[in-house]
Amino acid sequence: MARTTPVKKAWRSLTWLLVITAVLTGVLAYGVIFEKASWAPKLALDLEGGTQITLAPKLGAGEGAPSAEQLDQAVSIIRQRIDASGVSEAEIATQGASNIVVSIPGTPDEETLRRIESSAKLEFRPVIFTDVAATSAAGSTESPAPTDGATPAPTPSLATTSTAVPTDASDPNWVSPALFDAYTNFDCTTLDKADTNVAPEADPLITCEASADGKYSYKYILGPVEVSGDTISDASSGLIANSQGVSTGTWGVFITFNDKGTGEFADVTQRLSGFDPKTDVRNRFAIVLDGKVISAPTTQAVITDGKPQISGSFDQKSAKTLGDQLKFGALPLSFVVQSNETISATLGAAQLNSGIVAGLIGLILVVIYSLFQYRMLGLVTVASLVVAGVLTYLMIAILSWRQGYRLSLAGVAGLIVAIGFTADSFIVYFERIRDELRDGRGLPGAVEAGWKRALRTIFAAKAVNLLSAVVLFILAVGNVRGFALTLGLTTVIDVLIVILFTHPILQLLASTRFFSSGHPLSGLDPNALGAVYRGRAQFRAPVLSPAKAGASREAARRQTIAERKAAELTGTSARGASSTTADGKDS
Amino acid sequence: MASFSKFGNDLYTGERSIDFVGRRKLWYAIAAVMILLSIALPIARGGFVFGIEFRGGSEFQVAGVADLDLEGPRAKAQDLAASTVEAIDPQASPRVSIVGTDSVRVQTEQLLPEQSTQARDALATAFGVDITSVTASFIGPSWGADITGSALRALIVFIVLAAILMALYFRTWKMSVAAIASLLHDIIITAGVYGALGFEITPSAVIGFLTILGFSLYDTVVVFDKIRENTTEDANSSPRTFAGSVNLAVNQTLVRSINTGVVAALPVGAILFIGAYVLGAGTLRDIALALFIGIIVGTYSTIFIAAPIYSQLREQEPDILAHSTKLEAARSALGGR
């Protein structure tokens, strides 16, 4: 193998690094120019402040204060919902006897607020009666149908005088004259204000369907709850595909029921599909969220797999919000936003500056120590750390834009600590090269051979770090996730740098006179490394080989007299045996 | 430098060798004492001190403050509120924020009822508002049991997966056992230092612990990789006993261990220094202390705990035992070393 190959490879790697850096910069630049990104990473609550939202429970008349368990459960669910929207390091705590305080960095938009406060109590109720809501659709003949092909067709034969006891949830006998009267007088615009849309699960419910613009298009009388949201085991959002598997371009929420829910859902769809979808509204099944109908699709077939889709007036964001809300369960209580105020940082710029100053001092100390230990090679460490720093900064700024990542003071400390972890890859590598030099290799050979061994060690060790980051990110909640993201990020960048920067630079340096001649200041002086003691004449000219036996060969050669004699006595002539193995492996 | 690199050379060749594996009883004894102290001292001090984020605390909100000085990164009002509360309870560790445009929010450790009343009075006086404008309430833990629970679950999953990963990579479960043992040693001692010094355990400290976990295992894997290399390549033809090969590997990577330990500890030391002496108690000090101790202990334990345990676990295997006995016999025939 000629020397040109490592050099060519080195340039190729460096080009790749340049391309990666350019792409990351480009992505961030795009974000800054066309979207809401900024060049600097966003800061977390402790450094920048944000918004404090106080939630008070919505209590009916005569209801006592919520129990501590209910509040804890609510805090936990709200936390999971906020976590699902990114890693923003929100702070959620109970306050006083019944309130929950949510502090989040920045200013929350409508979507975030809904994500937090909505109790996400989902119910499936059969439709008994419906007509177009007077408030929104009056005069509008273009009123959009809530779901494909579901034209509201009031059942003309509706009995308004109910005497018989209803036999099932779709039975028109639920509609008593009083209920029908309430229905006629029900004003959909009052839905947001009052608790009018709350009814016990076993009773019928009068409510309306909300469309995307917040208006109410249909008014319903719904039967008792047939399938409750408690039976949902998982939920997600995505584009709805038609029966051919082609995306329809509409967003929806996909629900997976547990066994109980699956069974109940199958029973209901069995019964409802018996009604004619064209003439009987009782064919429709209303999905009710927090007392409002999201959609009331017609029942085309019996759903037995327990995996219905909810379509409605969703866009990507609102579908994801509902998916996340359902996934983590309904809040045990309904809450109203009591106050929504800006809140200042608790730490402020002084702490951040001190942190950065500490980091710089630390970095300078690392530089001094590296130069002391590795001479000119120390500069490679410094350059690698600088490149790693640039990539980390870019990635954090991008994550801050895409994932809502926020840099807290603890995060800054974590990044400073990463200097040490990153530098270790270089130390492992340099020490390997030195080991190879001690074995009497020439520098280019030592760089290649040392690299092969070092890379294996680096991969194994970094895999452990990455594993901890991935596990913590997936399983943990709250602040721990932010930490895990930082750890995973720095680990990946570290490996990237050592492959695409440190190694190529050393390959290039190895071809320079200064280093390959082993200048005393290069940090790779074979004399200082004791290679000469061993008599270089014993070794072949430096060759590029995957030398697997370097260290053991070395160990064998350096045995003490007693050990050698001992080895000879046991019948394994150490020198002979080890040189044969070495030759065998090298050739 | 010259002497240090000579030191490295001698360690590499075996000319100079520190007997890490052979003197394991001494290291185990030291570890046992350290672990006992790490358990006994915090108990003697009355257990760990958990921060407001874990236990909840008192919250005061001063409303209707007329001329809040909001200039500057940390408003004067924040310092005023902090010092007012600290005058009543020096251990209160207040966190102060400005809420909206005219309110000050102070969160502290749980105060006694009479302290709470005093604090309300003092805050009202300090900000020149009526006592009724200062509300006191209880703030629950923001680091709830659910976060701790999920973090612990994640930790256990991680340790199990890491043990499997190491067992697969090194092709022996004994390395996993040794690595996890030294990891536990590191966690207990790092936590013990917190308990012994009476430092408050805050979320930052917990994150510091988690970092240490990664570092401890990471450091062990690097050294074990060299041990694997030394012990598998010669196996039975080696002129060294198994313990000797392990010891040589530790010595050969000693320079790496020292350099890595120093390089990792330097930035953390800088944070610790700035955090503790310039800023006083706070996030930086909390996280840096855990890391500083953890890095030192983690580097130490790889050499003095993990490697000897691994060697001890393997020495009794028939192959290795036979090999060692053969070497011992040969040496004693020569009249020993």
Q: How far is CA A583 from CA A79, A436, A448, A452, A587, in A?
A: 62, 16, 18, 19, 6
| Degrees to nearest 5, angle at CA B146 with B141 and B151 | 110
Task: Report the C-alpha gap between B122 and B85 in whole angstroms.
Answer: 8
Candidates A361, A467, A563; nearest CB to B158? A467
User: Closest residue of A to B162, CA-based?
Assistant: A464
Give me the DSSP letters along A379-425: HHHHHHHHHHHHHHHHHHHHHHHHT---B-HHHHHHHHHHHHHHHHH
Q: Mutate which of B116, B204, B212 to disrupt the A interface (most A C-beta within 10 Å)? A: B204
pLDDT in tens, A172-209: 777 777 778 778 777 777 666 545 456 677 778 888 87
Question: Which pTM does this prediction carry?
Answer: 0.73
Token digits of residue A357: 């100053």
For the ranges A212-216, B163-167, B189-193, which has the lowest average pLDDT?
Answer: A212-216
> Does A29 reach chain B within 8 Å, measured CB to CB?
no
pLDDT in tens, A360-418: 888 888 888 888 888 888 888 889 989 999 999 999 999 888 877 888 887 887 888 78
**Per-residue pLDDT, A135:** 38
pLDDT in tens, A135-158: 333 323 333 334 433 444 444 444
Token digits of residue A440: 């009497």
**Per-residue pLDDT, B336:** 45
Shortest CA gap B52–chain A (Å): 11
Candidates A468, A479, A555; nearest CB to B248? A555
Q: Please check whether residue A574 is in contact with residue A568, taking contact to mean a CB–CB distance below 8 angstroms.
A: yes
Candidates A93, A457, A577; nearest CB to B139? A93
In degrees rounded to 5, what are phi and psi of residue A501?
-125, -60
Q: Please check whether residue A332 is in contact with residue B241, taking contact to mean a CB–CB distance below 8 angstroms.
A: no
β-pairing verdict for A335-343 and A50-57: antiparallel
Task: Report the C-alpha gap between A413 and B271 in whole angstroms.
Answer: 8
**Per-residue pLDDT, A17:** 92
Q: Please check whether residue A234 is in contact with residue A213, taking contact to mean a CB–CB distance below 8 angstroms.
A: no
Q: Which residues lie closer than 8 Å to B167 by C-beta, 6 or more apart?
A: B173, B175, B176
Q: How far is CA A338 from CA A52, A56, A58, A408, A453, in A?
A: 10, 6, 10, 27, 62
The length of chain A is: 587
> Does A7 reach chain B within 8 Å, measured CB to CB?
no
Q: Mutate which of B137, B172, B218 to disrupt the A interface (most A C-beta within 10 Å)? A: B218
Q: Please check whether residue B178 is in contact with residue B310, taking contact to mean a CB–CB distance below 8 angstroms.
A: yes
Per-residue pLDDT band at A23 (split at 50, 70, 90): very high
Q: Which residues lie closer than 8 Å to B217 by C-beta, 6 or more apart?
A: A464, A465, A468, B162, B166, B179, B183
Helices then strands, counting H and E runs in chain A, come out as: 18, 13
Candidates B262, B264, B284; nearest CB to A358? B284
- Cβ burial of B321 (10 Å; 0-12, 13-18, 19+) is middle
Q: Which residues lie closer than 8 Å to A456 by C-beta, 6 or more apart?
A: B225
**Per-residue pLDDT, A419:** 80
Residue A587 above 70 pLDDT?
no
pLDDT in tens, A83-116: 777 766 788 888 887 888 888 887 777 777 777 7
- The amino acid at residue A217 is S
**B255: nearest Cα among A67, A427, A89, A107:** A427
For the ranges A58-72, A217-231, B63-77, B122-136, which has the lowest average pLDDT?
Answer: B63-77
A351/B237 touch (CB, cutoff 8 Å), yes or no: no
Candidates B1, B162, B226; nearest CB to A464? B162
Shortest CA gap B50–chain A (Å): 16
pLDDT in tens, B285-324: 777 888 888 899 999 999 999 999 999 998 888 877 787 7
Q: Which residues lie closer than 8 Å to A206 by C-beta, 6 or more apart?
A: A179, A182, A183, A186, A196, A197, A199, A219, A220, A221, A222
- The amino acid at residue B157 is V
Residues of A in contact with B99 (CB under 8 A): 52, 341-344
In degrees rounded to 5, what are phi and psi of residue A238?
175, -175
Residues of A in contact with B287 (CB under 8 A): 410, 413-414
> Does A570 reach chain B within 8 Å, measured CB to CB?
yes
pLDDT in tens, B18-34: 888 888 889 999 999 99
Task: Report the C-alpha gap between B285 and B269 in whole angstroms.
Answer: 10
**Per-residue pLDDT, A532:** 46
**A114: nearest Cα among A148, A68, A70, A81:** A81
- Cβ burial of B140 (10 Å; 0-12, 13-18, 19+) is buried
Token digits of residue A303: 């759903």
- Three-state DSSP at B323 gives helix
pLDDT in tens, B230-268: 887 666 667 778 888 888 889 888 888 888 888 888 888
**Per-residue pLDDT, A138:** 30
- Name A54's bridge partners: A101, A339
Task: Report the C-alpha gap between B135 and A496 in whole angstroms.
Answer: 53
Count CA atoms closer than 13 A to A237's CA, side-chain side: 21
Q: What is the mean pLDDT of residues A544-565?
A: 48
User: Percent of chain A beyond pLDDT 90?
Assistant: 8
Token digits of residue B178: 């040794």
Selected residue with higher pLDDT from A570 and B128: B128
- Cβ burial of B42 (10 Å; 0-12, 13-18, 19+) is buried
Task: Report the C-alpha gap between A443 and A513 in whole angstroms.
Answer: 10
> Does A52 reach chain B within 8 Å, measured CB to CB?
yes
- Name A95's bridge partners: A99, B139
Interaxial angle between packed helices B203-234 and B242-252, expressed in degrees from 0 to 180 and rounded to the nearest 10? 130
H or E element in which residue B107 lies: strand B103-109
Q: How far is CA B202 from CA B48, B199, B285, in A?
A: 11, 9, 11
Q: How far apart are the two ends of chain A, measured CA to CA in Å? A: 13
Task: Report the C-alpha gap between A437 and A450 in whole angstroms.
Answer: 9
**Per-residue pLDDT, A150:** 40
Q: How much is the mean pLDDT over chain B? A: 83
In degrees rounded to 5, what are phi and psi of residue A41?
-65, 150
Task: Report the C-alpha gap between A466 and B307 in whole angstroms.
Answer: 23
Residue A560 above 70 pLDDT?
no
Q: How far is CA B10 from CA A303, A431, B17, in A?
A: 75, 14, 8
Residue A286 above 50 pLDDT?
yes
**Per-residue pLDDT, B164:** 93
H or E element in which residue A257 lies: strand A247-257
**Per-residue pLDDT, A585:** 38
Token digits of residue A238: 């995505």
**A170: nearest Cα among A244, A251, A262, A274:** A274
**A339: nearest Cα among A568, A520, A99:** A99
For the ranges A283-292, A454-463, B63-72, which has the lowest average pLDDT?
Answer: B63-72
User: Closest residue of B to A549, CA-based?
Assistant: B233
Per-residue pLDDT band at A352 (split at 50, 70, 90): confident
Candidates B4, B237, B264; nearest CB to A572? B237
pLDDT in tens, B79-114: 788 888 888 887 777 888 888 777 888 888 888 888
Q: Please check whether residue B310 is in contact with residue B228, taking contact to mean a CB–CB distance below 8 angstroms.
A: no
| Degrees to nearest 5, angle at CA B246 with B228 and A565 | 115
Cα maximum dimension of chain A: 112
Task: Report the C-alpha gap between A446 and A458 in whole angstroms.
Answer: 17
What ipTM was assigned to the predicted interfaces of this complex? 0.83
- Name A51's bridge partners: A104, A342
Residue B192 above 50 pLDDT?
yes
Residue A36 above 90 pLDDT?
no
Token digits of residue B219: 């450091």
Token digits of residue A292: 């409002």
> Does A94 reach chain B within 8 Å, measured CB to CB?
yes
Task: Report the C-alpha gap between A309 and B337 in whole angstroms.
Answer: 79
**B154: nearest Cα among A418, A480, A483:** A480
